Chain A
Amino acid sequence: MPLPQLWRQFKKNRAAAISLYFVIAFILAAIFASELSPYDPFALGDGALLAPQSDHWMGTDDLGRDTLSRVIYGTRVPLLVGFLATATSLLLGILIGSTSGYFGGLTDVILMRVTEYVLVVPRFFLALLVVAMLGTGIMKIILVIGILGWPEIARVVRAQFLSFREREFVLAARAIGASHAKVIFKEILPNAIPPAVVVASILVARAILLEAGLSFLGLGDPNLVSWGSLLSEAQERISASVWLAIFPGMAISLLVLCVNLFGDGINDVLNPKLRKK
């Protein structure tokens, strides 16, 4: 389907279209954080633990830092982790899923057994363990979350490969002597991309929540502001200074909500069959 037509189709889902605008707004906020923030997010201010007021719309923390500025800067880490980790999962999942589905046999059995294991293991515990032992840092967090997300992608890609492997156009390509690589990437993979993208949209939302969880437990990147670490700082003072927790939490929830609704919209466009189901 050409792009303008896809867009017209997508717009029919109003919630998804509005969510897309919100996601774009979040991305712009992340890019232009230094222009948008009224204060330096790390600068110690004169008033500590101020409740929300005209100078500080979201109040200040115990060191007098402006919460609004910290929430705006905090947009960067979740978005970066959400998208890059999911890109990693997509890459790995497509590679493993297509190998498994295309070649079948023992390769398939082994790869699917590994996939099943990763699905069963408590992945958040695994992420905590790895980050705690190997050290924090945003690249490590992205890699860990990305690597843990591949099984969901691999499964849908494999299912597509299984159903397309014996179709006429694939058999025809093989008959005229196309290499395995060519059949996989040129013939079958394009058909496996749409369902993989739909799963990926769910993974973005999950990666954002996972990063928030890691940061909340003190395993985020210590040099960056993240909504999860803001909530962790808020935890000690929650009874007296509830605004420290309210705004970062609302930001996470809103972003995750928008990503999920946007994913629903993509699902409607790319998988009309699934929708009817």
Chain B
Amino acid sequence: MSPTNFILRRLFHAIPLLVCVIVFNFILIHLAPGDPIQALVGEFPAPEAYVAEMRRAFGLDQPLYVQLLLYLKNVLTGDLGFSFYYRQPVASVILDRVPATLQLMVPALIFSAVVGVLLGILAARKPYSISDNAISAFSLFGYCVPAFWLGQMLMVIFSVELGWLPSQGIKTVGVDLDGWSGFFDRITHLLLPFGALAIRHLAVNARMMRSSMLEVAFEDFVMVARAKGLAEKDVTARHMVPNALMPVVTIIGVDVGFLFTGSVLVETVFGWPGIGRLMYESIVKRDYPVLMGNFLITTALVVAVNLIVDLVYLWLDPRVKYKK
């Protein structure tokens, strides 16, 4: 299968998923206590004319299947509704926040993947040595500590006690910094939420890479490589690591969903203006259209990241190309 076909197939698989999410939102609107119009508008005093217009647009006086079709049509044409709190269409409220979340998430994803894999290789080199035990203990810690609590503790240490780093927001408010000082300002704001978000994934990836390395260590091709006299570092780099990476790459794809979980909590702790924080604000404001739109757009983002992970997989493992 050519890479283009592969991508097309994956995209084709993603469409029913997104339709399912839309149908799910539709069901929720009707399961929610009270009038469905409340779920469509949010709990705000909306003008009568707008409510009447919404009733018409979503066909609330028509049979359910007509309503579902209308809902699908509206959402698929990009109309996710209107947020009365933000006085903006839902789609633009959410899309405005996506860059901030990506700014936090992409570095966390890359860092935890690269460093996690390196730590895993290091730990597997001498199983049960001091460095292995230290890395394993650290990954266990990262796996068990809730990200938002870790965020709170990092904030107390580095921001309240030591005063090294800012505790809230994405950049210093009220000052116009440009060039390097602006960049530096953003980095200092990024470090704490980034740390809180990355650590769990770092832990998962390190654990996974370690056990994956130990698994390939006894494969025949590794013994052959050693037997033909390759230096140990070449055996590791050329034969063990590429094979051990496969399951880890899969895990990274699955973990993207969990990264969004972390982002809601960590963004809430640090007042980071991304879609996670938006989710929290919309819960507090009972802004249901934003909640539902956010779920849909986040799902689309997860699907997109998974697609990228699949492509990495394809590039790493040529065998996938020949499988049906």
Q: Give A244's nearest chain B residue, CB to CB.
A: B152
Chain B nearest CB, measured from A19 CB (Å): 11
Asked if A217 CB lies within 8 Å of chain B CBs, one says yes
Query: Whole-angstrom distance between the alpha carbons of A133 and B33 in the complex?
Result: 8
Given the interface contacts A125-B260, A128-B264, A249-B153, does A120 sit within 8 Å of B302 by beta carbon?
yes
Cβ of A124 and Cβ of B291 under 8 Å apart?
A: no
Query: Is A133 a contact of B32 with CB atoms below 8 Å?
Result: yes
Known contacts: A134-B31, A239-B160. The answer to whether A126 contacts B152 by CB under 8 A is no
Structural contact, B261 and A249, CB atoms closer than 8 A: no
Name B259's closest neighbour in chain A (CB-CB): A122
Produce 1/0 per residue, B247-275, CB < 8 A to A: 00000001001101100110011000000
Q: Which of A34-42, A64-72, A193-201, A251-259 binds B?
A: A251-259
A231-B283 in contact (CB<8A) = no
Whether A257 and B144, one on each chain, are in contact in the complex, defined by CB atoms closer than 8 angstroms, is yes
The tally of residues in B whose CB lies under 8 Å from a CB in A reads: 52
Q: Hey, which chain B residues are within 8 Å of A167, CB to CB?
A: none
Question: A96 in the interface, Cβ–Cβ < 8 Å?
Answer: no
The answer to whether B17 and A238 touch across the interface, beta carbons within 8 angstroms, is no
Number of A-B contacts (CB under 8 A): 132
Contact check: which of A119, A231, A235, A256 meets B144 at CB < 8 Å?
Answer: A256
Interface residues on A, range: 35 or more
Least CB separation from A246: chain B residue: B153
Query: Beta-carbon contacts of A26-37 to B below 8 Å, as 1s and 0s?
Result: 000000000000
Q: Contact: B148 with A128, CB < 8 Å?
A: no
List the B side residues contacting A120 at CB < 8 Å.
17, 257, 299, 302-303, 306
Which residues does chain A contribute within 8 Å of B149, judged by CB atoms? 231, 245, 248-249, 252-253
Say yes or no: is A24 at the interface (Cβ < 8 Å to chain B): no
* Cβ contact within 8 Å between B140 and A257: yes
A266 interface hit (Cβ, 8 Å) = no
- Is the pair B261, A122 in contact by a Cβ cutoff of 8 Å? yes
B17 touches A132 (CB 8 A): no
Which single member of B20, B144, B215, B264 contacts A277 (CB below 8 Å)? B215
Residues of chain A from 211 to 254 with CB closer than 8 A to chain B in the complex: 212-213, 216-219, 231, 234-235, 238-239, 242, 245-246, 248-249, 252-253
State A277–B247 Cα separation when bound (angstroms). 14
Cβ of B140 and Cβ of A121 under 8 Å apart? Answer: no
Give the most central of B155, B261, B303: most A CB within 10 Å.
B261
Measured CB to CB, the closest approach of chain B to A154, in angstroms, equals: 15
Residue contacts A-B, CB under 8 angstroms, 25 given: A117-B20, A119-B254, A122-B261, A122-B298, A122-B299, A126-B24, A128-B279, A129-B25, A129-B28, A133-B39, A135-B33, A205-B144, A213-B146, A217-B283, A218-B284, A219-B283, A234-B152, A235-B269, A238-B155, A242-B160, A245-B156, A249-B149, A253-B145, A256-B144, A257-B140
Interface residues, chain B, with chain A CB atoms under 8 Å away: 16-17, 20-21, 24-25, 28, 31-33, 39, 140-141, 143-146, 148-149, 152-153, 155-156, 160, 167, 211, 215, 254, 257-258, 260-261, 264-265, 268-269, 279-280, 282-284, 286, 288, 291-292, 294-295, 298-299, 302-303, 306
